[in-house]
A and B are shown apart, each in its own frame.
Chain A
Amino acid sequence: MSRELRVVLAGFGGQGVLFAGKVIATAGLIEDRELSWLPSYGPEMRGGTANCSVCLSDEPIGSPLVLDPDVLIAMNQPSFDKFVDAVVPGGLIIADTTLVPTIKERDDVTLCMVDAQQIAEAAGLKGLGNIVMVGKLFEQTGFCERETLDAAIDHCVPPKRAAMIEMNKKALELGMNA
Protein backbone atom coordinates (compact mmCIF):
# COMPACT_ATOMS: atom_id res chain seq x y z
CA MET A 1 0.00 0.00 0.00
CA SER A 2 1.23 3.51 -0.73
CA ARG A 3 2.28 5.86 2.02
CA GLU A 4 -0.69 8.04 1.09
CA LEU A 5 -3.07 7.52 3.98
CA ARG A 6 -6.66 8.61 4.60
CA VAL A 7 -7.84 6.99 7.76
CA VAL A 8 -10.91 7.18 9.96
CA LEU A 9 -10.46 6.16 13.58
CA ALA A 10 -13.66 5.62 15.52
CA GLY A 11 -14.76 4.33 18.89
CA PHE A 12 -16.27 5.34 22.20
CA GLY A 13 -15.18 8.57 23.84
CA GLY A 14 -12.40 7.67 26.25
CA GLN A 15 -10.90 4.87 24.13
CA GLY A 16 -8.27 7.24 22.87
CA VAL A 17 -9.14 7.33 19.19
CA LEU A 18 -8.33 11.05 18.97
CA PHE A 19 -4.97 10.41 20.64
CA ALA A 20 -4.22 7.50 18.30
CA GLY A 21 -5.02 9.79 15.39
CA LYS A 22 -2.69 12.39 16.80
CA VAL A 23 0.14 9.85 16.96
CA ILE A 24 -0.37 9.06 13.27
CA ALA A 25 -0.51 12.77 12.40
CA THR A 26 2.58 13.47 14.45
CA ALA A 27 4.47 10.80 12.52
CA GLY A 28 3.62 12.81 9.43
CA LEU A 29 4.80 16.01 11.11
CA ILE A 30 8.13 14.45 12.03
CA GLU A 31 8.64 13.29 8.45
CA ASP A 32 7.70 16.77 7.22
CA ARG A 33 4.78 15.56 5.14
CA GLU A 34 1.44 17.15 4.44
CA LEU A 35 -1.12 16.09 7.01
CA SER A 36 -4.40 16.91 8.67
CA TRP A 37 -6.27 15.70 11.76
CA LEU A 38 -9.94 16.47 12.15
CA PRO A 39 -12.01 15.30 15.12
CA SER A 40 -15.74 14.92 15.45
CA TYR A 41 -16.86 17.41 18.05
CA GLY A 42 -19.81 18.53 20.09
CA PRO A 43 -22.44 16.75 22.18
CA GLU A 44 -21.85 13.45 20.40
CA MET A 45 -18.52 13.28 22.22
CA ARG A 46 -20.16 13.32 25.64
CA GLY A 47 -20.19 9.65 26.47
CA GLY A 48 -20.98 8.76 22.89
CA THR A 49 -18.87 7.92 19.90
CA ALA A 50 -15.76 9.80 18.92
CA ASN A 51 -13.98 9.71 15.63
CA CYS A 52 -11.33 11.54 13.73
CA SER A 53 -10.04 11.74 10.19
CA VAL A 54 -6.31 11.72 9.57
CA CYS A 55 -4.69 12.35 6.20
CA LEU A 56 -1.02 11.90 5.38
CA SER A 57 0.13 12.87 1.92
CA ASP A 58 2.92 14.26 -0.17
CA GLU A 59 0.46 16.69 -1.81
CA PRO A 60 -1.45 19.51 -0.07
CA ILE A 61 -4.57 18.11 1.57
CA GLY A 62 -7.95 19.31 0.33
CA SER A 63 -10.73 18.20 2.59
CA PRO A 64 -9.50 17.00 5.97
CA LEU A 65 -12.85 15.28 6.39
CA VAL A 66 -12.48 11.70 5.20
CA LEU A 67 -15.77 10.38 3.85
CA ASP A 68 -14.29 7.43 1.94
CA PRO A 69 -11.32 6.21 3.95
CA ASP A 70 -8.50 3.98 2.75
CA VAL A 71 -8.35 2.67 6.28
CA LEU A 72 -10.93 2.29 9.03
CA ILE A 73 -9.81 1.68 12.57
CA ALA A 74 -12.95 0.67 14.47
CA MET A 75 -12.87 0.26 18.21
CA ASN A 76 -16.52 -0.50 18.85
CA GLN A 77 -19.51 -1.99 17.12
CA PRO A 78 -21.43 1.24 16.34
CA SER A 79 -18.32 2.73 14.75
CA PHE A 80 -17.67 -0.39 12.70
CA ASP A 81 -21.26 -0.44 11.49
CA LYS A 82 -21.26 3.25 10.70
CA PHE A 83 -18.13 3.29 8.55
CA VAL A 84 -17.71 -0.25 7.21
CA ASP A 85 -19.35 0.48 3.88
CA ALA A 86 -17.51 3.78 3.41
CA VAL A 87 -14.08 2.16 3.08
CA VAL A 88 -12.87 2.26 -0.53
CA PRO A 89 -12.50 -1.05 -2.38
CA GLY A 90 -8.99 -2.30 -1.84
CA GLY A 91 -8.93 -0.57 1.51
CA LEU A 92 -8.17 -1.83 4.97
CA ILE A 93 -10.34 -2.32 8.03
CA ILE A 94 -8.79 -2.92 11.43
CA ALA A 95 -11.38 -3.86 13.99
CA ASP A 96 -10.85 -4.30 17.71
CA THR A 97 -12.73 -7.54 18.27
CA THR A 98 -12.89 -6.88 22.01
CA LEU A 99 -15.80 -4.55 21.31
CA VAL A 100 -16.68 -5.42 17.71
CA PRO A 101 -18.16 -8.89 18.03
CA THR A 102 -20.16 -8.77 14.81
CA ILE A 103 -18.10 -8.37 11.68
CA LYS A 104 -19.82 -7.61 8.41
CA GLU A 105 -17.76 -9.35 5.76
CA ARG A 106 -16.56 -7.45 2.71
CA ASP A 107 -14.55 -9.33 0.10
CA ASP A 108 -13.08 -6.24 -1.54
CA VAL A 109 -11.14 -4.97 1.48
CA THR A 110 -8.48 -6.37 3.77
CA LEU A 111 -9.94 -7.11 7.16
CA CYS A 112 -7.72 -7.34 10.24
CA MET A 113 -9.28 -8.41 13.46
CA VAL A 114 -7.22 -7.54 16.49
CA ASP A 115 -8.29 -8.22 20.04
CA ALA A 116 -6.58 -4.95 20.89
CA GLN A 117 -7.99 -4.06 24.29
CA GLN A 118 -7.66 -7.65 25.45
CA ILE A 119 -4.06 -7.77 24.24
CA ALA A 120 -3.25 -4.51 25.98
CA GLU A 121 -4.87 -5.55 29.23
CA ALA A 122 -3.17 -8.93 29.25
CA ALA A 123 0.17 -7.14 28.94
CA GLY A 124 -0.64 -4.80 31.79
CA LEU A 125 -1.31 -1.91 29.42
CA LYS A 126 -4.94 -1.26 30.24
CA GLY A 127 -6.36 1.51 28.12
CA LEU A 128 -3.73 1.28 25.39
CA GLY A 129 -5.78 -0.76 22.93
CA ASN A 130 -5.79 2.37 20.78
CA ILE A 131 -2.01 2.23 20.42
CA VAL A 132 -2.10 -1.51 19.73
CA MET A 133 -4.32 -0.58 16.77
CA VAL A 134 -1.79 2.01 15.57
CA GLY A 135 0.89 -0.70 15.74
CA LYS A 136 -1.28 -2.93 13.56
CA LEU A 137 -1.86 -0.06 11.13
CA PHE A 138 1.89 0.40 10.83
CA GLU A 139 2.46 -3.30 10.29
CA GLN A 140 -0.17 -3.33 7.52
CA THR A 141 0.69 -0.09 5.73
CA GLY A 142 4.17 1.07 6.75
CA PHE A 143 2.76 4.60 6.76
CA CYS A 144 5.98 5.99 8.21
CA GLU A 145 9.51 4.94 9.16
CA ARG A 146 9.72 2.61 12.15
CA GLU A 147 11.76 5.03 14.28
CA THR A 148 9.34 7.83 13.45
CA LEU A 149 6.60 5.94 15.22
CA ASP A 150 8.52 5.87 18.50
CA ALA A 151 9.41 9.53 18.05
CA ALA A 152 5.72 10.31 17.57
CA ILE A 153 4.97 8.64 20.91
CA ASP A 154 7.72 10.68 22.58
CA HIS A 155 6.14 13.78 21.08
CA CYS A 156 2.52 13.06 21.95
CA VAL A 157 2.72 11.82 25.51
CA PRO A 158 2.63 14.90 27.73
CA PRO A 159 5.70 15.42 29.95
CA LYS A 160 3.57 14.95 33.07
CA ARG A 161 2.88 11.39 31.96
CA ALA A 162 6.39 10.51 30.79
CA ALA A 163 6.04 7.16 32.55
CA MET A 164 3.51 6.25 29.85
CA ILE A 165 6.02 6.55 27.01
CA GLU A 166 7.53 3.10 27.33
CA MET A 167 4.10 1.54 27.83
CA ASN A 168 2.87 3.16 24.63
CA LYS A 169 5.88 1.89 22.73
CA LYS A 170 5.28 -1.59 24.08
CA ALA A 171 1.66 -1.34 22.92
CA LEU A 172 2.89 -0.43 19.43
CA GLU A 173 5.07 -3.57 19.38
CA LEU A 174 2.16 -5.70 20.50
CA GLY A 175 0.06 -4.31 17.68
CA MET A 176 2.72 -4.95 15.09
CA ASN A 177 2.94 -8.57 16.17
CA ALA A 178 -0.77 -9.13 16.65
Chain B
Amino acid sequence: MAEKVLMKGNEALAESAIRAGCRFFFGYPITPQTELAAYMAKRMPKEGGTYLQAESEIAAINMVYGASACGARVMTSSSSPGVSLKSEGVSYMAGADLPGLIINVQRGGPGLGSIQPSQSDYWQATKALGHGDFQMIVYAPSTVQEMADCAYNAFDVADKYRMPVMILADGMLGQMMEPVVLPEPKTELPEKPWACTGHKFEREHNIANSLYLTAEELDRLNVERFERYEIVKQNEQLAESVMVEDADIVVVAFGASARIARSAVVSARKEGIKAGLIRPITLWPFPTDAIKETLGTAKVYLSVEMNMGQMVDDVRLTVNGQAPVEFFGRTGGVIPSPAEVLSKIEEINGKVGA
Protein backbone atom coordinates (compact mmCIF):
# COMPACT_ATOMS: atom_id res chain seq x y z
CA MET B 1 0.00 0.00 0.00
CA ALA B 2 1.15 3.52 -0.77
CA GLU B 3 2.48 5.67 2.02
CA LYS B 4 0.20 7.71 4.24
CA VAL B 5 0.97 11.39 4.13
CA LEU B 6 -0.30 14.35 6.09
CA MET B 7 -2.07 16.80 3.82
CA LYS B 8 -4.57 19.61 3.84
CA GLY B 9 -7.90 18.79 2.27
CA ASN B 10 -7.42 21.49 -0.36
CA GLU B 11 -4.04 20.03 -1.31
CA ALA B 12 -5.36 16.48 -1.38
CA LEU B 13 -8.06 17.57 -3.83
CA ALA B 14 -5.45 19.15 -6.06
CA GLU B 15 -2.90 16.34 -5.97
CA SER B 16 -5.53 13.71 -6.51
CA ALA B 17 -7.00 15.60 -9.48
CA ILE B 18 -3.55 15.68 -11.06
CA ARG B 19 -3.22 11.95 -10.48
CA ALA B 20 -6.61 11.51 -12.13
CA GLY B 21 -5.11 13.03 -15.26
CA CYS B 22 -6.31 16.61 -14.88
CA ARG B 23 -3.81 18.89 -16.60
CA PHE B 24 -5.80 22.10 -16.82
CA PHE B 25 -6.73 24.30 -13.90
CA PHE B 26 -8.37 27.71 -14.27
CA GLY B 27 -9.15 29.61 -11.08
CA TYR B 28 -9.26 32.78 -9.08
CA PRO B 29 -8.11 33.36 -5.48
CA ILE B 30 -10.66 33.15 -2.69
CA THR B 31 -10.53 32.06 0.94
CA PRO B 32 -10.78 29.28 2.12
CA GLN B 33 -9.90 27.56 -1.14
CA THR B 34 -6.69 29.32 -2.08
CA GLU B 35 -4.27 26.52 -1.10
CA LEU B 36 -5.78 24.44 -3.86
CA ALA B 37 -4.95 27.01 -6.52
CA ALA B 38 -1.52 27.63 -5.00
CA TYR B 39 -0.81 23.90 -5.05
CA MET B 40 -1.84 23.72 -8.69
CA ALA B 41 0.33 26.73 -9.55
CA LYS B 42 3.29 24.84 -8.11
CA ARG B 43 2.56 21.39 -9.46
CA MET B 44 0.98 21.88 -12.88
CA PRO B 45 4.10 23.22 -14.64
CA LYS B 46 6.02 20.19 -13.39
CA GLU B 47 3.41 17.87 -14.88
CA GLY B 48 3.38 19.68 -18.21
CA GLY B 49 -0.04 21.01 -17.33
CA THR B 50 -1.62 24.45 -17.33
CA TYR B 51 -2.36 26.58 -14.30
CA LEU B 52 -3.97 29.85 -15.28
CA GLN B 53 -5.13 32.51 -12.85
CA ALA B 54 -8.10 33.97 -14.66
CA GLU B 55 -9.28 37.56 -14.44
CA SER B 56 -12.49 36.43 -12.76
CA GLU B 57 -14.45 33.37 -11.72
CA ILE B 58 -16.59 33.93 -14.79
CA ALA B 59 -13.59 33.84 -17.07
CA ALA B 60 -12.22 30.81 -15.22
CA ILE B 61 -15.33 28.69 -15.73
CA ASN B 62 -15.54 29.76 -19.37
CA MET B 63 -11.93 28.67 -19.84
CA VAL B 64 -12.99 25.35 -18.33
CA TYR B 65 -15.83 25.28 -20.84
CA GLY B 66 -13.46 25.97 -23.75
CA ALA B 67 -10.87 23.45 -22.59
CA SER B 68 -13.50 20.80 -21.97
CA ALA B 69 -14.98 21.40 -25.43
CA CYS B 70 -11.51 20.65 -26.79
CA GLY B 71 -11.24 17.39 -24.87
CA ALA B 72 -9.24 18.44 -21.81
CA ARG B 73 -9.57 16.86 -18.38
CA VAL B 74 -10.16 20.18 -16.66
CA MET B 75 -11.24 21.74 -13.39
CA THR B 76 -11.76 24.92 -11.44
CA SER B 77 -12.17 25.57 -7.76
CA SER B 78 -13.59 28.34 -5.66
CA SER B 79 -15.58 29.15 -2.57
CA SER B 80 -19.23 30.14 -2.28
CA PRO B 81 -19.31 33.73 -3.66
CA GLY B 82 -16.99 32.68 -6.47
CA VAL B 83 -19.10 29.65 -7.28
CA SER B 84 -22.11 31.92 -7.73
CA LEU B 85 -20.15 33.69 -10.46
CA LYS B 86 -19.34 30.39 -12.09
CA SER B 87 -22.98 29.47 -12.37
CA GLU B 88 -23.23 30.90 -15.89
CA GLY B 89 -20.50 28.69 -17.28
CA VAL B 90 -21.73 25.61 -15.44
CA SER B 91 -25.14 25.99 -17.06
CA TYR B 92 -23.50 26.26 -20.48
CA MET B 93 -21.42 23.16 -19.75
CA ALA B 94 -24.56 21.25 -18.85
CA GLY B 95 -26.29 22.54 -21.98
CA ALA B 96 -23.40 21.55 -24.21
CA ASP B 97 -22.94 18.20 -22.41
CA LEU B 98 -19.39 19.01 -21.39
CA PRO B 99 -17.62 17.25 -18.52
CA GLY B 100 -15.52 19.04 -15.93
CA LEU B 101 -14.91 19.34 -12.21
CA ILE B 102 -15.99 22.31 -10.11
CA ILE B 103 -14.91 22.40 -6.49
CA ASN B 104 -16.71 24.51 -3.90
CA VAL B 105 -14.90 24.88 -0.59
CA GLN B 106 -17.91 26.46 1.07
CA ARG B 107 -17.94 29.44 3.39
CA GLY B 108 -20.80 31.21 5.12
CA GLY B 109 -23.28 33.32 3.19
CA PRO B 110 -25.29 35.02 1.83
CA GLY B 111 -23.30 37.82 0.26
CA LEU B 112 -19.72 38.08 1.39
CA GLY B 113 -20.89 36.17 4.44
CA SER B 114 -17.96 34.78 6.39
CA ILE B 115 -14.86 32.86 5.50
CA GLN B 116 -15.63 30.17 8.05
CA PRO B 117 -16.93 26.71 7.08
CA SER B 118 -20.52 26.34 5.96
CA GLN B 119 -22.83 24.04 4.06
CA SER B 120 -25.20 26.73 2.91
CA ASP B 121 -24.66 26.07 -0.80
CA TYR B 122 -26.47 22.72 -0.72
CA TRP B 123 -29.46 24.09 -2.59
CA GLN B 124 -27.27 25.87 -5.09
CA ALA B 125 -25.24 22.73 -5.77
CA THR B 126 -28.08 20.25 -5.97
CA LYS B 127 -30.91 22.34 -7.40
CA ALA B 128 -29.86 25.55 -9.03
CA LEU B 129 -26.28 26.30 -9.93
CA GLY B 130 -27.18 28.28 -13.02
CA HIS B 131 -30.28 28.73 -15.10
CA GLY B 132 -32.17 26.04 -16.94
CA ASP B 133 -33.15 22.43 -16.45
CA PHE B 134 -30.03 20.56 -15.46
CA GLN B 135 -28.24 18.67 -12.73
CA MET B 136 -24.66 18.18 -11.68
CA ILE B 137 -23.35 15.16 -9.86
CA VAL B 138 -22.39 16.46 -6.42
CA TYR B 139 -19.97 14.71 -4.07
CA ALA B 140 -19.75 15.58 -0.38
CA PRO B 141 -16.56 14.15 1.11
CA SER B 142 -16.16 14.21 4.88
CA THR B 143 -12.48 13.35 5.35
CA VAL B 144 -9.29 14.39 3.63
CA GLN B 145 -8.99 10.84 2.32
CA GLU B 146 -12.44 11.10 0.80
CA MET B 147 -11.53 14.47 -0.72
CA ALA B 148 -8.73 12.67 -2.55
CA ASP B 149 -10.96 9.75 -3.53
CA CYS B 150 -13.75 11.98 -4.85
CA ALA B 151 -11.37 14.14 -6.91
CA TYR B 152 -9.81 10.99 -8.34
CA ASN B 153 -13.12 9.53 -9.48
CA ALA B 154 -14.97 12.71 -10.39
CA PHE B 155 -13.39 13.11 -13.83
CA ASP B 156 -14.25 9.57 -14.91
CA VAL B 157 -17.85 10.05 -13.84
CA ALA B 158 -18.00 13.44 -15.56
CA ASP B 159 -16.65 11.95 -18.78
CA LYS B 160 -18.91 8.92 -18.58
CA TYR B 161 -22.11 10.95 -18.39
CA ARG B 162 -20.75 14.10 -20.07
CA MET B 163 -21.82 16.24 -17.14
CA PRO B 164 -20.24 18.82 -14.86
CA VAL B 165 -19.41 17.31 -11.49
CA MET B 166 -19.05 19.23 -8.25
CA ILE B 167 -17.20 18.42 -5.08
CA LEU B 168 -18.98 20.27 -2.30
CA ALA B 169 -16.45 20.65 0.49
CA ASP B 170 -16.18 23.37 3.11
CA GLY B 171 -13.59 25.51 4.81
CA MET B 172 -13.01 22.97 7.56
CA LEU B 173 -12.35 20.07 5.23
CA GLY B 174 -10.26 22.26 2.96
CA GLN B 175 -8.05 23.63 5.71
CA MET B 176 -7.62 20.60 7.95
CA MET B 177 -4.84 18.06 7.66
CA GLU B 178 -5.38 14.34 8.03
CA PRO B 179 -3.46 11.29 6.91
CA VAL B 180 -4.23 10.39 3.33
CA VAL B 181 -3.13 7.66 0.95
CA LEU B 182 -2.90 9.19 -2.50
CA PRO B 183 -4.05 7.18 -5.51
CA GLU B 184 -1.80 5.94 -8.30
CA PRO B 185 -1.63 8.23 -11.36
CA LYS B 186 -4.03 7.29 -14.14
CA THR B 187 -2.48 6.52 -17.47
CA GLU B 188 -5.48 5.64 -19.63
CA LEU B 189 -7.93 8.43 -20.29
CA PRO B 190 -11.11 8.05 -22.35
CA GLU B 191 -11.27 9.04 -26.02
CA LYS B 192 -13.51 12.02 -26.79
CA PRO B 193 -14.54 11.84 -30.43
CA TRP B 194 -16.97 14.73 -29.87
CA ALA B 195 -14.21 17.15 -28.86
CA CYS B 196 -13.20 20.17 -30.94
CA THR B 197 -9.66 19.27 -31.88
CA GLY B 198 -9.71 20.23 -35.56
CA HIS B 199 -11.54 17.99 -38.05
CA LYS B 200 -8.46 17.45 -40.27
CA PHE B 201 -10.95 16.92 -43.15
CA GLU B 202 -11.60 13.46 -41.71
CA ARG B 203 -15.01 14.11 -40.19
CA GLU B 204 -17.85 16.61 -40.03
CA HIS B 205 -17.07 19.63 -37.90
CA ASN B 206 -17.71 19.17 -34.19
CA ILE B 207 -19.76 21.79 -32.39
CA ALA B 208 -19.96 22.49 -28.67
CA ASN B 209 -23.17 24.39 -28.22
CA SER B 210 -26.17 24.92 -25.98
CA LEU B 211 -28.27 27.09 -28.31
CA TYR B 212 -31.40 25.63 -29.90
CA LEU B 213 -33.80 28.09 -31.42
CA THR B 214 -36.37 25.44 -32.24
CA ALA B 215 -38.49 24.75 -29.18
CA GLU B 216 -39.18 21.14 -30.10
CA GLU B 217 -35.50 20.39 -30.57
CA LEU B 218 -34.55 21.82 -27.17
CA ASP B 219 -37.48 20.01 -25.60
CA ARG B 220 -36.26 16.72 -27.05
CA LEU B 221 -32.67 17.32 -25.90
CA ASN B 222 -33.77 18.19 -22.38
CA VAL B 223 -35.88 15.07 -22.18
CA GLU B 224 -32.95 13.00 -23.41
CA ARG B 225 -30.67 14.60 -20.85
CA PHE B 226 -33.10 13.79 -18.05
CA GLU B 227 -33.26 10.20 -19.23
CA ARG B 228 -29.50 10.16 -18.72
CA TYR B 229 -30.01 11.67 -15.26
CA GLU B 230 -32.29 8.75 -14.40
CA ILE B 231 -29.44 6.37 -15.19
CA VAL B 232 -27.14 8.46 -13.00
CA LYS B 233 -29.68 8.20 -10.19
CA GLN B 234 -29.70 4.42 -10.50
CA ASN B 235 -25.93 4.00 -10.74
CA GLU B 236 -24.22 6.70 -8.80
CA GLN B 237 -25.91 7.09 -5.40
CA LEU B 238 -23.37 6.82 -2.59
CA ALA B 239 -23.97 6.85 1.14
CA GLU B 240 -22.47 5.46 4.30
CA SER B 241 -24.85 3.98 6.87
CA VAL B 242 -23.69 3.60 10.46
CA MET B 243 -25.69 1.66 13.08
CA VAL B 244 -28.99 2.24 11.30
CA GLU B 245 -30.33 -1.34 11.35
CA ASP B 246 -32.03 -0.97 14.74
CA ALA B 247 -31.97 2.81 14.97
CA ASP B 248 -35.04 4.67 16.22
CA ILE B 249 -33.42 7.96 15.39
CA VAL B 250 -31.64 8.18 12.04
CA VAL B 251 -29.41 11.22 11.76
CA VAL B 252 -28.73 12.35 8.20
CA ALA B 253 -25.65 14.51 7.72
CA PHE B 254 -22.99 15.08 5.07
CA GLY B 255 -19.47 16.43 4.85
CA ALA B 256 -18.10 18.21 7.89
CA SER B 257 -21.35 18.07 9.84
CA ALA B 258 -21.43 14.28 9.40
CA ARG B 259 -18.20 14.05 11.40
CA ILE B 260 -19.84 15.87 14.28
CA ALA B 261 -23.07 13.92 13.90
CA ARG B 262 -21.14 10.66 14.04
CA SER B 263 -19.56 11.63 17.37
CA ALA B 264 -22.99 12.55 18.71
CA VAL B 265 -24.51 9.27 17.52
CA VAL B 266 -21.72 7.28 19.20
CA SER B 267 -22.32 9.21 22.43
CA ALA B 268 -26.07 8.64 22.15
CA ARG B 269 -25.53 4.88 21.81
CA LYS B 270 -23.45 4.95 24.99
CA GLU B 271 -26.48 6.47 26.71
CA GLY B 272 -28.66 3.69 25.38
CA ILE B 273 -30.35 5.79 22.72
CA LYS B 274 -30.76 3.85 19.50
CA ALA B 275 -29.33 6.37 17.08
CA GLY B 276 -27.76 5.79 13.70
CA LEU B 277 -26.27 7.87 10.90
CA ILE B 278 -26.80 8.01 7.17
CA ARG B 279 -24.10 10.05 5.51
CA PRO B 280 -24.87 10.97 1.89
CA ILE B 281 -21.64 10.98 -0.13
CA THR B 282 -23.49 12.00 -3.28
CA LEU B 283 -25.88 14.89 -2.69
CA TRP B 284 -27.10 14.59 -6.26
CA PRO B 285 -28.13 11.95 -6.94
CA PHE B 286 -29.49 12.03 -3.40
CA PRO B 287 -29.07 8.60 -1.79
CA THR B 288 -32.75 7.85 -1.52
CA ASP B 289 -32.09 4.10 -1.53
CA ALA B 290 -30.08 4.23 1.70
CA ILE B 291 -32.79 6.26 3.42
CA LYS B 292 -35.64 4.11 2.12
CA GLU B 293 -33.97 1.03 3.61
CA THR B 294 -34.58 2.50 7.05
CA LEU B 295 -38.18 3.54 6.45
CA GLY B 296 -39.67 0.53 8.23
CA THR B 297 -37.49 0.79 11.29
CA ALA B 298 -36.68 4.45 11.93
CA LYS B 299 -39.12 6.34 14.13
CA VAL B 300 -37.74 9.74 13.35
CA TYR B 301 -35.11 11.37 11.13
CA LEU B 302 -32.84 14.25 12.09
CA SER B 303 -31.02 16.25 9.45
CA VAL B 304 -27.89 17.97 10.82
CA GLU B 305 -26.44 20.67 8.60
CA MET B 306 -24.28 23.78 8.73
CA ASN B 307 -27.10 25.91 7.28
CA MET B 308 -30.70 26.86 8.04
CA GLY B 309 -32.10 23.57 6.72
CA GLN B 310 -31.54 22.67 3.07
CA MET B 311 -30.85 18.95 2.71
CA VAL B 312 -33.71 18.38 5.13
CA ASP B 313 -36.01 19.06 2.13
CA ASP B 314 -34.58 16.07 0.30
CA VAL B 315 -34.84 13.92 3.42
CA ARG B 316 -38.51 14.89 3.72
CA LEU B 317 -39.17 14.16 0.05
CA THR B 318 -37.60 10.74 0.47
CA VAL B 319 -39.32 9.91 3.76
CA ASN B 320 -42.50 11.24 2.18
CA GLY B 321 -44.48 11.63 5.37
CA GLN B 322 -43.82 8.14 6.71
CA ALA B 323 -41.93 9.49 9.73
CA PRO B 324 -41.26 12.90 11.23
CA VAL B 325 -38.16 14.69 9.96
CA GLU B 326 -36.41 17.07 12.34
CA PHE B 327 -33.63 19.54 11.70
CA PHE B 328 -30.67 20.90 13.61
CA GLY B 329 -28.27 23.42 12.14
CA ARG B 330 -25.78 26.17 12.82
CA THR B 331 -24.86 28.82 10.29
CA GLY B 332 -22.54 31.68 9.58
CA GLY B 333 -19.42 29.59 9.94
CA VAL B 334 -20.28 28.08 13.32
CA ILE B 335 -19.37 24.41 13.44
CA PRO B 336 -21.92 22.65 15.65
CA SER B 337 -20.45 20.84 18.63
CA PRO B 338 -21.07 17.13 19.17
CA ALA B 339 -22.63 18.07 22.53
CA GLU B 340 -25.33 20.25 20.98
CA VAL B 341 -26.16 17.61 18.39
CA LEU B 342 -26.33 15.02 21.17
CA SER B 343 -28.75 17.15 23.17
CA LYS B 344 -30.96 17.48 20.08
CA ILE B 345 -30.90 13.68 19.76
CA GLU B 346 -31.78 13.36 23.45
CA GLU B 347 -34.63 15.84 23.04
CA ILE B 348 -36.03 13.93 20.08
CA ASN B 349 -35.61 10.65 21.91
CA GLY B 350 -37.74 12.01 24.72
CA LYS B 351 -40.45 12.99 22.22
CA VAL B 352 -40.64 9.70 20.33
CA GLY B 353 -40.61 7.82 23.63
CA ALA B 354 -38.14 5.22 22.48
Contacts and interface: CB of A to CB of B under 8 A. Distances in A.
B180 to A, nearest CB: 10
Interface stretch (B258-266, B283-291, B319-327): B258-266
Max count, chain B CB within 10 A of own CB: residue among A26, A35, A38, A60: A38
Contacts of A32: 4
A65 B32 CA distance: 16
Contacts, number: 59
A63 B337 contact: yes
A38 B6 contact: no
Given A25-B6, A29-B4, A65 B335 contact: yes
Given A62-B260, A64-B176, A41 B31 contact: yes
Interface residues of B, number: 23
A63 B335 contact: yes
Interface string B33-70: 00000000000000000000000000000000000000
Contacts of B31: 41-42
Contacts of B109: none
B74 interface: no
Nearest to B174: A41
B85 interface: no
A37 B337 contact: no
A62 B263 contact: yes
Contacts of A60: 262
B179 interface: yes
Contacts of A43: 115
A36 interface: yes
B178 interface: yes
A102 B4 CA distance: 42
B345 to A, nearest CB: 14
Given A41-B32, A62-B338, 17 more contacts: A29-B4, A32-B4, A35-B178, A36-B177, A36-B178, A37-B176, A37-B178, A39-B175, A43-B115, A60-B262, A62-B262, A62-B264, A62-B266, A63-B259, A64-B176, A64-B178, A65-B172
10 contacts: A22-B6, A25-B6, A29-B179, A36-B176, A38-B175, A41-B31, A62-B338, A63-B259, A64-B172, A65-B335
Interface of A: 22, 25-26, 29, 32, 35-39, 41-43, 60-65, 67
Interface of B: 4-6, 31-32, 115-116, 171-172, 175-179, 259-260, 262-264, 266, 335, 337-338
